[in-house]
């Protein structure tokens, strides 16, 4: 069973509250990493990091982070080595991001899309598998090489 880590700040809290039980109904295991109550002063980087680390450290297979626009969550999640996060507001990108780019964290903007489109995006993301073809693996390997050459997001980097 696929394990999905989900997190959201105040901007994505209502949408996360709707998506988490729905994802469970689809028979996925869900790790709800918060927020667990509406906190108007919480910050998206905290939740994006928790979800991205959960995926990068193999405690979850996929991650979903929700903030107001999805942009900040995407930026923050991508600072975690091993996370490949993308902001998606269409089903093609949510599916193709996994199939071609081995995306493992979906970022959503709760102030940009509604709950029904969010469900379609989550379904596309969770049902997709990386197409481990030579050309696609080569590209993902190049992304991983870029990540290994940069100090951004790595522990102890100066």
Residue 152: pLDDT band (50, 70, 90) is: low
Active site residues: 67, 100
Residue 150: per-residue pLDDT: 81
Residue 2: per-residue pLDDT: 96
- How many C-alpha atoms does 88 have within 13 Å on its Cβ side? 27
The whole-model pTM stands at: 0.94
Strands (E), 9-158: 29-32, 62-67, 85-87, 105-109
Q: Is the pLDDT of residue 98 over 90?
A: yes
Residue ranges of domains in the chain, CATH in brackets: 3-149 (3.40.1400.10)
* Least confident window among 36-40, 115-119, 154-158: 154-158
């Amino acid at each position: 069973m696929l394990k999905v880590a989900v997190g959201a700040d105040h901007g994505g809290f209502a949408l996360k509250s709707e998506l988490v039980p729905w994802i469970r109904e689809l028979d996925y295991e869900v790790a709800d990493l918060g927020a667990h109550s509406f906190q108007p002063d919480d910050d998206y980087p905290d939740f994006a990091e928790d979800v991205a680390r959960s995926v990068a450290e193999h405690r979850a297979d996929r991650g979903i982070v929700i903030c107001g626009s999805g942009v900040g969550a995407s930026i923050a999640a991508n600072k975690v080595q091993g996370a490949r996060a993308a902001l998606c507001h269409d089903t093609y990108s949510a599916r193709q991001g996994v199939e071609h780019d081995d995306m493992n964290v979906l970022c959503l903007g709760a102030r940009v899309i509604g709950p029904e489109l969010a469900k379609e995006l989550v379904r596309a993301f969770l049902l997709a598998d990386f197409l481990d073809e030579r050309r696609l693996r080569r590209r993902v390997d190049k992304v991983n090489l870029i990540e290994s050459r940069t100090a951004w997001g790595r522990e102890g980097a100066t």
